[in-house]
């Protein structure tokens, strides 16, 4: 992994990786595909949805159909700088926050926390017949 340096800032940036004659850009622990638009590719980053992707594209002056393969080094640097200096919680930070919220519910022994711990639906759904999905989701969480 290498870092871009410009204006005395260091950012964990992108790795350009060649796979099957395609150059993939890894931005913030997520692979951005070259053949897709920047607007769509940014939505693959955990924590950046369509709204935040639109805001990022507008701030940088890109249209929605601007391809990732057309990004220059300076544009990549500006993209990384904007995302890291913004207040977005993304990737591992956001995942850690969500896990801590769920652990807090279990630790204070709230109704929702106890339901999660047992693997039951949390929001009042019936359990007589249709609780299979909740059991799958809630059993993945280790407390």
Domain boundaries along the sequence of the chain: 3-85, 91-139
Q: Evaluate whether 10 touches 3 at the Cβ level (below 8 Å).
A: yes
Q: State the alpha helices, DSSP H only, in the chain.
A: 38-42, 50-60, 73-85, 91-107, 111-118, 132-139
Q: Give φ, ψ of 11 to 5 degrees.
A: -130, 140
CATH number corresponding to 3-85: 1.10.8.50
**CA–CA distance, 110 with 113 (Å, rounded to integer):** 5
Alpha-carbon span 19 to 22, nearest angstrom: 5
- Which listed CATH number (2.40.30.10, 4.10.910.10, 3.50.50.60, 2.40.40.20) goes with 91-139? 4.10.910.10
pLDDT tens for 18-59 read 555 555 677 777 888 888 999 999 999 999 999 999 999 999
Confidence of residue 90 (pLDDT cuts 50, 70, 90): confident
């Amino acid at each position: 992994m290498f870092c871009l340096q410009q204006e005395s800032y260091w950012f964990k940036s992108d790795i350009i990786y060649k796979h099957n004659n395609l150059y993939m850009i890894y931005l913030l622990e997520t692979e951005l595909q070259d053949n897709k638009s920047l607007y769509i590719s940014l939505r693959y980053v955990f924590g950046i949805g369509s709204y935040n992707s639109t805001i990022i594209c507008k701030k940088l002056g890109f249209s929605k159909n601007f391809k990732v393969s057309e990004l220059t080094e300076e544009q990549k640097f500006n993209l990384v700088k904007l995302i890291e200096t913004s207040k977005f919680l993304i990737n591992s930070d956001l995942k850690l926050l969500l896990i801590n919220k769920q652990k807090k519910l279990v630790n204070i022994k709230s109704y929702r926390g106890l339901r999660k711990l047992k693997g039951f639906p949390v929001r009042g759904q019936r359990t007589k017949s249709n609780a299979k999905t909740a059991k799958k989701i809630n059993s993945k969480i280790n407390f």
